[in-house]
A and B are shown apart, each in its own frame.
Chain A
């Protein structure tokens, strides 16, 4: 199993540009989570999907952030326009849909907004 796949691994962009982060969950997993990690705020849940449907997006910081899951094997997190304070490591994780099942994390995308 390839695990959770995220791309790109690193992204450097300028303020105001659109950024799209991509995630492929583990096959057969029906829950998908987007997290953001910074030194200041630690690990924050942004949004999670179950069976491709967004369940809770209360962690999405602003309208500049949006996430989609068009099918069971792909999700995107988009930031438009990006700001320097969006610089962080963004993780995608998947699980097979029970509250007691562990989440499997991807390697993360390190985003730097200049």
Chain B
């Protein structure tokens, strides 16, 4: 069965430090991987995606993610965290032939402290 795991419910990082939000997946075939962010009282916003090609994907707001096929991971990273990055982050996966569905992780709350 397809699944996405975000092992950390919450990640705390000091402003200016690098941040990592972890995501691992289980899917048959080649995955399409996504990160979304949700600010308080807002809908989810697309950050970045991996479809094929370069394993390092760059997205909005200075975020990037690295696809690691051997570890089935797609961790979200940012070199220097901002207080405004504090939000809920969701990882999701789909695959060709899955009828457009995204399988969602449970979300990780990222808190950036000044």
A binding-site residues for B, Cβ under 8 Å: 4, 31, 42-43, 45, 48, 50, 55-56, 91, 93, 95, 97-100, 102-108
Nearest chain A CB to B37 CB, angstrom units: 11
Contacts of B45 in A (CB 8 A): 105
Collect the chain A residues with CB atoms within 8 Å of residue B101's CB. 45, 48, 56, 99
CB distance from B54 to the nearest CB of A (A): 15
Number of interface residues of B (CB under 8 A): 23
Chain A residues with CB under 8 Å of B22's CB are: none
Find chain A residues with CB under 8 A from B107 CB: 42-43
Q: Which residue, of B42, B90, B95, B100, has the highest number of chain A Cβ atoms within 10 A?
A: B100
Query: Is B99 interfacial (CB 8 A cutoff)?
Result: yes
Can you report 13 residue pairs joining A to B where beta carbons are below 8 Å apart? A42-B104, A91-B44, A93-B43, A93-B44, A98-B100, A99-B94, A99-B100, A100-B49, A100-B94, A104-B46, A105-B43, A105-B44, A107-B43
The distance from the CB of B87 to the nearest CB of chain A, in whole angstroms, is 14
Report how far A31 CA is from B101 CA in the complex, Å.
10
- Chain B 6-43 interface mask (CB, 8 Å, partner A; 1/0): 00000000000000000000000000101010000011
